[in-house]
Amino acid sequence: MSNQTIKGPDGFDIAVIAEGERPDDGRKGPGVIWLSGLLSDMIATKAAAIAAHGAEKGFPVLRFDYRGHGASGGDFKDASISELLSDALAVFDRFAKGAQILIGSSMGGWIALLLALALKERKKAGEDLSAHVAGIVLIAPAVDMTRRLMWDAFTTEIRAEIEEKGVYYRPSDYGDPYPITKKLIEDGEKHLLLGDIIPLSCPVHIIHGREDPDVPWELSQELTAWLSEADVDMTFIRDGDHRLSRPEDIAVLLAAVDRMRARASGGACG
């Protein structure tokens, strides 16, 4: 295991855990990159389970904390989706080699799709990349969350508070209230995906709990329609919540990762 800290695009310290190495001939197949959810971190239950699974199976796992999350520097109140995406790109560029499977949980699912799209555009522009996305696993993906799960769901009073004060502290069942800022909401509008074809053609596997109180499972169902160029598998867990961190949920996730690694041809998401 290699615990490192790199300077992010805006000078923040980005904490990274890089485990295992994939030889240049690719004998161990694709590596895995974990993208955490909102105000979660790289040592949470699912991320740790995937890292342990990688160590057991012999494939590399790359984890990191966005700015304002976990062991990284910065304050989430100052962050935007654009900036979290830039952190993910910086880590990908610094550490990833060859074929990679992105695993995104909740907000990390949205970041995973945006990351794959950004890399596709860079390749299209002629950039020589040392790594590429060969497949994506999404866990309760909070795609377009700043509009669908925040702004559109907020009352008039909450919207007014954001407009006037610049921030609303949203109560959370998982710890301290989440600071939802005007900057986060406005920047999120630049990255909306639902409502148009998402031009990714690599395999995608979505896992979602039917009892998720935070990200409705119907959002994943809608997402599959816009991923019409991709080969999409969907797994619904009948009694699953948002975290999907029970042993039986972890077993479903690890099986999906194994299938995706075996299924990914090694070609880049087109």
- What pLDDT was estimated at residue 265? 60
Which domains, and CATH codes, for the chain? 2-144+195-262 (3.40.50.1820)
- What pLDDT was estimated at residue 24? 44
- What pLDDT was estimated at residue 164? 98
- What pLDDT was estimated at residue 1? 59
- What pLDDT was estimated at residue 25? 39
Whole-model pTM?
0.95
* 201 labelled catalytic: no
Catalytic residue among 72, 132, 242, 249: 242
* 132 labelled catalytic: no
CA dihedral 37, 40, 41, 45 (to 10 degrees): -90
Main-chain dihedrals φ then ψ at residue 51, nearest 5 degrees:
-65, -45
- What pLDDT was estimated at residue 130? 93
pLDDT along the chain (270 residues), means of 10: 86 93 57 97 97 96 97 95 98 96 98 98 94 97 98 98 97 88 98 98 97 98 97 97 97 98 76
Catalytic residue among 65, 87, 187, 212: 212
Catalytic residue among 106, 144, 191, 208: 106
